[in-house]
Every structure is written in structure tokens, then in C-alpha cells.
């Protein structure tokens, strides 16, 4: 189906180590490593509640194409499941090769330094070009968005604390909350400074 030429690379080993996948593929594989068998749609929900906060939440179309790629590489197994009506849903589960590949990626490759696409900071850099009021408005909007985000993430953290399966996801969620708190402090300090 979608196996085009990408899977016909010069080394056709599927059981691991050799082919480098995009990080998002490892991220999705990682979500599957928590054990549940998920459909593309469910994986999207899951990534919206996790990856969104410190990676990017892939579009549905990308979820499907990455799942296709993982299948091509033999890192996940798929299964047709009957839905509520007459429809069938494809569900995916990580297999041993996938776990090995994921572990291999984690231990052999280095984590890159995080990349921030911070358009609020970018716009603040250029604040000499606009009137002070609009800069203030932008920062206040950002402050409100931070409040929303924090609420969303706090709710997620609430649902996984005390569940040993999600010990590390809980660390990451707490990390996100700390980050949002730090952003809020900075934004407020800048707002104060601007009014002088």
C-alpha cells in the first residue's frame, strides 16, 4: 500500500539497527510501548495528551503514514477489529522487534538539545517596530494561553499520578508544569518592566 520505495532501502533488515526512522516514528512507537493496542485514531488522542506538550502532535495523516512505515519495518503488528457497526478498525501493537528497535534508538543515539519555536519571543525581539500596547496585549494573551495549557496538563497529570506504569510520563508532565510556571513568571516580569 504505502510501502513505496522507502522500505526498499539498500539494507532491507527489518529487525532493527540500520535504518534510522524519523523521531516522530520513535515517539509513536514509544506510545505503543505502554502496552495497549491502539488504532490510528486512538494514537492521535494519546499523542494529543502527551506528545503535544513537548514534541509536536502529528496530523492524523502522518500518524497513518508512520504506522504504515512501522509496519513495513516489521516493528508493529496490526490486526483488523470489528467496530460497533459493520466497520472494521485496524489496531496496532508494538512487537519484540519494535521494542528492540526502540531500546536501540534510546541507548545508541544522543538526545539533541531541545529546539524551541517561540514566536512570542520572536515578536518581542521586534517590539521596537510596533506600539507598546500591542506588545502588552500579546504577552497577556500568551499568559492566558499558558493558564489553559497548565490546566490541561494538570488534568492529565492528575489522571496518571500513583500509577506506577506512568511514573516517567508523570515526571515529564510535572516538567511541563514547571516550564509553564517559569514562562508565566517571565512574562509577568517583562510586563512589569514594560510599564516603566
Partner DNA sequence: TGTAGCATGTAAGCCGTTACATGATTGA
Partner DNA sequence: TCAATCATGTAACGGCTTACATGCTACA
Q: Which chain residues interact with a copy of itself by CB under 8 A?
A: 23, 27, 30, 33, 50-51, 53-56, 99, 102-103, 106-107, 110-130, 134, 138, 141-142, 145, 149, 165, 167-169, 171-172, 174-176, 178-179, 181-183, 185-186, 190, 193
Q: Closest separation between CB of residue 14 and a copy of itself, Å?
A: 20
For residue 147 the three cell numbers come to 493558564
How far is residue 64's CA from residue 2's CA, in Å, rounded to a whole number?
10
| Parallel/antiparallel/unpaired status of strands 76-82 and 38-39 | unpaired
Helix (H, G, I), strand (E, B) or coil at 4: coil
Which residues ranging from 76 to 95 are in contact with DNA (CB under 7 A)?
A: 83-87, 89-91
Q: Measured from the CB atom, is 90 or 93 closer to a copy of itself? A: 93
> Residue 129 has what DSSP assignment?
G
Give 184's contacts (C-beta < 8 A, 6+ positions apart).
143, 146, 147, 150
Binding mask 21-40 for DNA (x = CB under 7 A): xxxxx-------------xx
Which position has the grid cell 538526545? Answer: 111
- Of 135, 130, 2, 136, which is closest to residue 66 (Cα–Cα)? 2
- Which lies closer to DNA via its Cβ, residue 6 or residue 106? 6
Which residues contact DNA (rule: CB under 7 A)?
1-3, 6, 21-25, 39-42, 56-62, 64-65, 68, 83-87, 89-91
Amino acid at each position: 500500500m504505502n510501502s513505496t520505495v522507502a522500505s526498499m532501502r539498500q539494507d532491507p533488515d527489518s529487525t532493527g539497527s540500520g535504518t534510522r526512522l524519523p523521531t516522530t516514528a520513535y515517539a509513536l512507537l514509544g506510545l505503543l510501548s505502554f502496552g495497549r493496542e491502539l488504532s490510528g485514531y486512538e494514537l492521535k488522542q494519546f499523542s494529543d495528551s502527551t506528545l503535544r506538550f513537548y514534541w509536536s502532535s502529528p496530523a492524523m495523516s502522518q500518524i497513518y503514514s508512520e504506522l504504515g512505515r512501522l509496519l513495513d519495518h516489521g516493528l508493529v503488528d496490526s490486526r483488523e477489529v470489528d467496530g460497533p457497526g459493520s466497520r472494521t478498525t485496524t489496531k496496532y501493537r508494538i512487537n519484540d522487534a519494535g521494542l528492540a528497535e526502540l531500546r536501540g534508538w534510546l541507548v545508541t543515539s544522543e538526545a539533541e538539545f531541545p529546539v524551541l519555536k517561540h514566536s512570542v519571543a520572536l515578536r518581542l525581539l521586534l517590539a521596537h517596530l510596533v506600539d507598546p500596547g500591542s506588545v502588552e496585549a500579546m504577552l497577556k494573551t500568551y499568559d492566558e494561553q499558558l493558564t489553559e495549557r497548565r490546566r490541561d496538563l494538570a488534568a492529565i497529570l492528575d489522571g496518571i499520578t500513583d500509577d506506577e506504569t506512568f511514573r516517567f510520563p508523570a515526571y515529564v508532565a510535572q516538567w511541563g508544569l514547571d516550564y509553564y510556571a517559569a514562562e508565566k513568571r517571565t512574562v509577568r516580569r517583562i510586563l512589569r518592566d514594560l510599564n516603566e
